[in-house]
Chains A and B, each alone.
Chain A
Amino acid sequence: MKTRNFKILLIGLILIIISLFFIINLYNKPFIDIKKSNPKIEITAQEILNDYQADESLANEKYVDNLIQIKGEIADISFDNGISIITLKDTSGFSSIICHMLPEANLNILKLKKENQVLIKGVCTGYLIDIMMVRCVLNNDNFDEK
């Protein structure tokens, strides 16, 4: 009888430890690794801008929260408050794509200039008067070509 109670107690304890482990793991769930993950959508700057200007909510359904790789021409590079921002050109309008880069991309950004063609991978958050991208990195192909 005593050993049976002990066994139940032991199993119960193990179950609690396992579930605690899962809860803590879930709580600390990491963000996806942008650099290592494959983009869900590959697109040019003009294509995504056209989609947003045609129908914003439809474009939101397609792009928001997804890892996207955009090919475009640099309109501007800025370093504000320790964040580097690359703006991609809208060749047929007054909008743009504003990409907030992850700090790990900083070193490579120094090698870039305005009007360079780049591949930028990041997460789309939506559209104000520009398309907004967060947690962006530069695709390595940008530098292999040179």
Chain B
Amino acid sequence: MTILMKNKIIILLLLLISSQLFSQERYLTKEGYISFFSHSLVEDIKADNYQVLSVIDKKTGEIAIQLLMKSFMFKKALMQEHFNQSYVESYKYPKATFKGFILNLKELDNKNGTVAVEIKGILSIHGKEKEISTMANVQILKDQINLSGHFMVEVADFDIKIPIVVRNNIAKTIKITFDLQHKSYK
């Protein structure tokens, strides 16, 4: 057994123990939804990703989101190909991540229905990081935390280069929509 494997097993064991200790506090989804939408005069482009991994720690309000760029599904095969090969270079940067906090999550526990919250954190796409702050809707149920909303990002912030030929087809500002339905996990 290599040292690397031993380390992995130790980390896994630690994770297991910690998840046992805080079992009521962690909420997870492996099938969250994130989409992006680009509107231009030439065409509208939309892509959906239903394979988003997201974990919320209810105690601290910490949230960590991960997704695979290749899991974005487009209407046209060519768009998907260009997106992965030329724009976000998925072979080099296969994942996008967000790490941050849902502010004042603990205080919302006793409220019913959907409440507006602020989320702050670091969004990482195409190997570039950017601080993001956005409002979202949160709904806290017995074994569930639902988080949904949308925000805008600038393509240029993530060093994504769009060739001149299709510059008019792709918006400079992209709308990102999310709907993450976390369940508590044991």
Q: Are B77 and A132 in contact (CB under 8 A)?
A: no
A145 at the interface (CB under 8 A from B): no
Q: Are B78 and A126 in contact (CB under 8 A)?
A: no
A120 CB to nearest chain B CB (Å): 15
What's the count of A-B pairs with C-beta under 8 Å? 61
B31 at the interface (CB under 8 A from A): yes
In the complex, which of the residues A26, A53, A98, A128 contacts B66, with contact meaning CB atoms closer than 8 Å? A128
In the complex, which of the residues B51, B76, B80, B95 contacts A98, with contact meaning CB atoms closer than 8 Å? B51
A141 at the interface (CB under 8 A from B): no
Question: Given that A27-B78, A128-B53 are contacting pairs, would A134 and B30 also be in contact in the complex, using a CB cutoff of 8 Å?
Answer: no
> In the complex, which residues of chain B have a beta carbon less than 8 angstroms from the beta carbon of A30?
77
In the complex, what distance in Å separates the CA atom of A29 from the CA atom of B16? 46
B61 at the interface (CB under 8 A from A): no
Chain B: interface residue total (CB-CB under 8 A): 22
Selected A-B contacts with CB under 8 Å, 8 pairs: A31-B77, A64-B70, A94-B16, A100-B51, A125-B68, A128-B95, A134-B70, A134-B73
Interface string of A6-18 (1 = CB under 8 A from B): 0000000000000
> In the complex, which residues of chain B have a beta carbon less than 8 angstroms from the beta carbon of A26?
78
Closest 7 pairs (CB-CB, A-B): A125-B70, A126-B68, A125-B71, A128-B53, A31-B77, A125-B68, A132-B51
> In the complex, which residues of chain B have a beta carbon less than 8 angstroms from the beta carbon of A128?
30, 51, 53, 66-68, 95
Q: Which of B31-83 contact A (CB under 8 A)?
A: 31, 33, 50-51, 53, 66-68, 70-71, 73, 76-78, 80
> In the complex, which residues of chain B have a beta carbon less than 8 angstroms from the beta carbon of A60?
91, 94
> In the complex, which residues of chain A have a beta carbon less than 8 angstroms from the beta carbon of B78?
26-29
In the complex, what distance in Å separates the CA atom of A81 from the CA atom of B32? 10
Question: Given that A98-B51, A100-B51 are contacting pairs, would A126 and B77 also be in contact in the complex, using a CB cutoff of 8 Å?
Answer: no
B76 CB to nearest chain A CB (Å): 7
Q: Are B70 and A83 in contact (CB under 8 A)?
A: no
In the complex, what distance in Å separates the CA atom of A65 from the CA atom of B85? 11
Q: Are B94 and A126 in contact (CB under 8 A)?
A: yes
In the complex, which of the residues A64, A81, A94, A135 contacts B94, with contact meaning CB atoms closer than 8 Å? A64
